[in-house]
């Protein structure tokens, strides 16, 4: 969850016009999915805007009715604008988005203020914009938005934890241990490190390949191909997701290095500024410092980009080679009439992606036994990898299952060997005691 808070504004109607239509094209509204109002009498955007504007005008009257001391200047910027963005892998519903906005407003103490929600579909990540009135419709007072960014950061961390998926681990660290992200101007110079230019094409190719696969054809052979291609697609998506994290780590590392390199120069600049140096001299000093910093930043960026791109190309090439080998093996085994579910399951046990792929794409079990082909058995059976044994594999599994069912009640009735041994030992002890008693019975010995 990413929450972007924009500066305060003056016009409800202008912001509503921008959020209700496409950028630079006020005649179309293709990016707008839906709208929703909070604490307004109408669910229509124009009517809600009029209500929010009227509330701002009636601020002094609302203060008088609420018993609040009147006075002070009128609120000059009554419009607050921010957005909530989910990760591209998340698919929140309309109800989820509205509930998230309400939870965020309640966390900040803004739950009584009027707001209009605008959901857009023009980005890969789902997001919703919030136009909020800073004037309370109850008291007429301006909302207290001090430290709203830090409080929003805490709310976003709690929200991700409540959904069971944390996308930003830095929020969970103490404030002193968090790694500072680069500012906007530095991030824009480092955005070439992002994998959008190189890896987006590879990701799109993997998505087209999966879409071209026939996922509805019956038969156990098609089922094996469907299972294999789905697992390989998930491995590629995991590779691309790891690439985003790798590029982000390199980008932050470059920023920290450049920041450390020019720490003294920036300290000197702010020292001169506090001492009251001439504005012209300060501007020239800052311009020269920024130019030097950008040259160093570009040098580090190019070197890191080339090295990281080379490493990831090698890893991806190895991943594709392994996938090609797996497909060749599957085609060869199917030509010989062999099932390969056991082969893929056994191979998954030795890979790093098994826990996710086995849960995300298990072999479907809802087909009739005649269409399922080979029965899934435990990996490691001695006949699993032998050639020409597909019928024997199925027959062996059926007979083993029947034999286990027949022997189960007999095992419960048969006495355990340990209990038999204990019974024999007890019988021997009784016989020995009886023999001693027989020898001791007779005529008492003569005392004389």
Q: What is the pLDDT of residues 397-434, one digit of tens each?
A: 555 566 556 555 444 444 444 455 566 667 777 777 76
Q: Does residue 212 share a domain with residue 164? A: no
State the average pLDDT for the chain: 75
Residue with tokens 């950028």: 23
Q: What is the pLDDT of residues 186-224, one digit of tens each?
A: 777 776 665 556 666 677 777 776 666 655 556 667 777
Contacts of 410 (CB under 8 A, 6+ apart): none
Q: Does residue 208 share a domain with residue 172? A: no
Confidence at residue 375, expressed as pLDDT on a 0 to 100 scale = 34
Confidence at residue 338, expressed as pLDDT on a 0 to 100 scale = 74
CA distance 327 to 227: 11
Q: What is the pLDDT of residues 323-367, one digit of tens each?
A: 888 888 888 888 887 766 655 554 554 444 433 433 443 333 333
Is residue 357 assigned to a domain?
A: yes
Confidence at residue 133, expressed as pLDDT on a 0 to 100 scale = 94
Is residue 48 assigned to a domain?
A: yes
Question: Contact, 75 vs 142, CB < 8 A?
Answer: yes
Is residue 400 assigned to a domain?
A: no
Is residue 329 assigned to a domain?
A: yes
Tell whether the model's pLDDT for residue 165 goes beyond 90: no
Confidence at residue 394, expressed as pLDDT on a 0 to 100 scale = 54
Confidence at residue 414, expressed as pLDDT on a 0 to 100 scale = 42
Q: Does residue 30 share a domain with residue 128? A: yes
Q: What is the mean pLDDT of residues 259-277?
A: 89
Question: Which of 338, 373, 389 marks a domain boundary?
Answer: 389
Is residue 173 assigned to a domain?
A: yes
Confidence at residue 364, expressed as pLDDT on a 0 to 100 scale = 38
Q: Does residue 51 share a domain with residue 141? A: yes
Tell whether the model's pLDDT for residue 307 goes beyond 70: yes
Question: Which of 357, 389, 421 marks a domain boundary?
Answer: 389
Q: Which residue has the higher pLDDT, 213 or 172?
A: 172
Is residue 442 assigned to a domain?
A: no
Q: What is the mean pLDDT of residues 296-323?
A: 84
Confidence at residue 152, expressed as pLDDT on a 0 to 100 scale = 92
Q: Does residue 225 share a domain with residue 113? A: no
Is residue 68 assigned to a domain?
A: yes
Q: How many domains does the chain have?
A: 2
Q: Does residue 347 share a domain with residue 203? A: yes
Is residue 424 assigned to a domain?
A: no
Which of 12-26, 175-189, 234-248 has the least mean pLDDT?
Answer: 175-189
Q: Which of 54-68, 105-119, 136-150 has the highest mean pLDDT?
A: 105-119
Q: Which residue has the higher pLDDT, 161 or 208?
A: 161
Confidence at residue 65, expressed as pLDDT on a 0 to 100 scale = 86
Tell whether the model's pLDDT for residue 260 goes beyond 80: yes
Q: Does residue 355 share a domain with residue 273? A: yes
Question: Which of 389, 411, 439 marks a domain boundary?
Answer: 389
Confidence at residue 215, expressed as pLDDT on a 0 to 100 scale = 53
Q: What is the pLDDT of residues 270-300, one digit of tens each?
A: 998 888 888 888 899 999 988 898 888 888 8
Q: Which residue has the higher pLDDT, 90 or 71?
A: 90
Q: Can you give the pTM of this predicted structure?
A: 0.55
Q: Does residue 280 share a domain with residue 364? A: yes
Q: Does residue 234 share a domain with residue 172? A: no
CATH code, 128: 3.30.930.30
Confidence at residue 441, expressed as pLDDT on a 0 to 100 scale = 43
Q: Does residue 160 share a domain with residue 30? A: yes
Q: What is the pLDDT of residues 380-400, one digit of tens each?
A: 333 333 344 445 455 555 555
Tell whether the model's pLDDT for residue 372 goes beyond 60: no
Q: Does residue 129 share a domain with residue 205? A: no
Determine the structural domain holding residue 103 and report its residue range. 2-178
Q: What is the mean pLDDT of residues 145-158?
A: 89
At 137, give phi and psi (nearest 5°). Answer: -75, -5
Q: Does residue 173 share a domain with residue 283? A: no
Q: What is the pLDDT of residues 80-118, one digit of tens each?
A: 999 999 988 888 999 999 999 999 999 999 999 999 999
Q: Compute and round to an integer the Cα radius of gyration of the chain.
A: 36
Q: Which residue has the higher pLDDT, 144 or 247?
A: 144
């Amino acid at each position: 969850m990413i929450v972007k808070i924009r500066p305060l504004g003056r016009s409800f109607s202008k912001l509503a016009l921008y959020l209700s239509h496409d950028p630079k094209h006020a005649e179309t509204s293709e990016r707008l999915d839906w709208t929703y109002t909070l604490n307004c009498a109408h669910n229509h955007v124009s009517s809600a805007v009029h209500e929010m504007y009227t509330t701002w005008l009636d601020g002094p009257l609302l203060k008088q009715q609420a018993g609040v001391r009147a006075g002070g200047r009128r609120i000059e910027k009554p419009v607050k604008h921010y957005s909530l963005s989910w990760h591209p892998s998340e698919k929140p519903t309309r109800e989820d988005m509205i509930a998230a906005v309400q939870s965020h407003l309640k966390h900040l103490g803004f739950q009584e203020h009027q707001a209009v929600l605008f959901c857009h579909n023009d980005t890969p990540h789902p997001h919703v914009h919030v136009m909020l009135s800073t004037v309370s419709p109850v008291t007429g007072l301006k909302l207290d938005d001090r430290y709203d960014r830090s409080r929003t950061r805490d709310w976003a961390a709690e929200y991700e934890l409540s959904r069971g998926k944390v996308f930003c681990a830095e929020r969970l660290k103490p404030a002193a241990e968090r790694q500072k992200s680069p500012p906007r101007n530095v991030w824009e110079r480092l955005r070439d490190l992002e994998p959008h230019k190189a890896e987006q094409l590879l990701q799109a190719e993997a998505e087209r390949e999966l879409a071209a696969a026939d996922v509805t054809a019956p038969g156990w052979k098609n089922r094996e191909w469907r299972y294999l291609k789905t697992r390989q697609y998930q491995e590629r998506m995991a590779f691309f997701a790891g690439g985003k994290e790798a590029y982000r780590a390199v980008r932050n590392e470059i920023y920290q290095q450049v920041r450390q390199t020019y720490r003294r120069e920036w300290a000197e600049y702010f020292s001169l500024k506090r001492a009251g140096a001439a504005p012209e001299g300060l501007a020239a000093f800052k311009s020269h410092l920024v130019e030097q910093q950008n040259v160093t930043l570009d040098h580090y960026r190019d070197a890191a980009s080339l090295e990281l791109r080379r490493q990831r190309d090698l890893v991806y090439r190895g991943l594709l080679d392994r996938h090609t080998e797996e497909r060749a093996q599957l085609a060869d085994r199917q030509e010989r009439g062999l099932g390969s579910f056991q082969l893929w399951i056994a191979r998954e046990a030795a890979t790093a992606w098994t826990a996710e792929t086995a849960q995300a794409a298990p072999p479907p079990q809802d087909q009739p036994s005649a269409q399922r082909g080979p029965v899934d058995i435990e990996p490691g059976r001695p006949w699993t990898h032998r050639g020409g044994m597909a019928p024997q594999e199925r027959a062996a599994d059926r007979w083993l299952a029947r034999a286990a069912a027949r022997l189960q009640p007999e095992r419960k009735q048969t006495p355990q060997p340990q209990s038999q041994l204990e019974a024999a030992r007890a019988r021997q002890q009784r016989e020995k005691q009886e023999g001693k008693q027989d020898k001791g019975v007779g005529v008492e010995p003569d005392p004389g």
